[in-house]
Amino acid sequence: MTRGSVHGPEGPPPLSVTGMRVLVTGGAGFIGSQVVEALLARGHEPVVLDALLPSAHPTPPPAHPDVRRFVADVRDRAAVDTALDGVQAVCHQAAMVGLGKDFADAPDYVSCNDLGTAVLLAAMAGAGVRHLVLAGSMVVYGEGRYTCPVHGTVRPGPRAEAELAAGRFEPRCPRCGAQLRPGLVGEDAPTDPRNVYAATKLAQEHLAASWARACGGRAVSLRYHNVYGPGMPRDTPYAGVASFFRSALARGQSPTVYEDGGQRRDFVHVRDVAAANAVALAALPDRAPGTLTAYNTGSGVPHTVGEMARTLAAACDGPPPVVTGEYRLGDVRHITASSRRIADDLGWRALTGFADGMAEFAREGMRAARPAEPAPSACPTQPMS
């Protein structure tokens, strides 16, 4: 499809702060549907592209009365070309998420996340769409920021399986073996993806940066931390830890906590993440052409996985969590965000406190999943970190 065939010889209309037509890929999913609501609240015209796969949507959600929806895979170039008609900007949420089952999932992750992003960006280049908000992820960092009492800031390597099997979960200083103090990681930290999903999320950023340079585009990657809230999918291996715990409690079972429960994470509410998308979108016209800027998108307040499990179990009036000592290769010990850059640059801050957010998550429903759910054969559309 040529640029003129969609928007005429002059390309899409210029971006404005309100009243934009915005394509939201994965717009029927957990985060994407909240992005749609945030855009509507700010006077924009969202357009949804979502595959509505049974793995993510066992019961297809009804179409929003005020939103045009295309049911198609983001890897379908013809469908993406059609969905971009009249669009001025894109919020790219569609992705295959989580650690999955095992490495056999790798081709699906790469196809969904990286090929899908490449198809979308190529279509945007052809249509003259030059503004992008990408759903990034904190997983690109690997382990978070650590301080050694002797050697200062250090970067421990991947944890050895022998150490994990022995119950020694905390990384040690790679130079002297001392115990490390975890801190908040900033956007300038080196990237170090340690599983397939993480590698595909970093590749998405590289693809978006290449598109921006080649086309004079403006892009923001919001590196989501652990997103939770109403509407998370349940009973699926392709979700985040909050979903696993909530699903267990919905079945009347104890949440199963891996390692010793001391893993530090940043849990951020889905409405706050959706608001960050809208704020980033409004800021795109002020970005320099040809650039991608990454922003950590978290609450800024770390909590342990064990603390989250206990808080959620108490809010659900369910059984307390069980700490198993099990582990998964590819998991990191501590990863918590400094979200100062997005606060300073864009004025965004998470507004939902941990206790209030978990209480709401406990009482609100989740999206049901099919029993014995197989690995997806195409891109699900509810990215979570």
Catalytic positions, written as ranges: 197
Q: CA torsion sign, 89 to 233 to 192 to 115?
A: negative
| Nearest 10 degrees: Cα torsion 198, 339, 95, 117 | -90
The alpha carbon of residue 120 and the mean position of all alpha carbons in its chain are separated, in whole angstroms, by 17
User: Could you give the residue ranges of the DSSP H alpha helices within 50-191?
Assistant: 77-83, 106-109, 116-127, 161-165
Only one residue has tokens 């190529």, namely 122
Closest CA to 27 of 57, 54, 7: 57
User: What is the biggest distance separating any 2 CA atoms in the chain, rounded to whole angstroms?
Assistant: 65
Say whether 3 sits in a helix, a strand or coil.
helix
Burial of 260 (0-12, 13-18, 19+ CB in 10 A): middle
Q: Which residues contact 171 (CB under 8 A, 6 or more apart)?
A: 143, 146, 156, 159, 180, 333
The residue type found at 25 is T
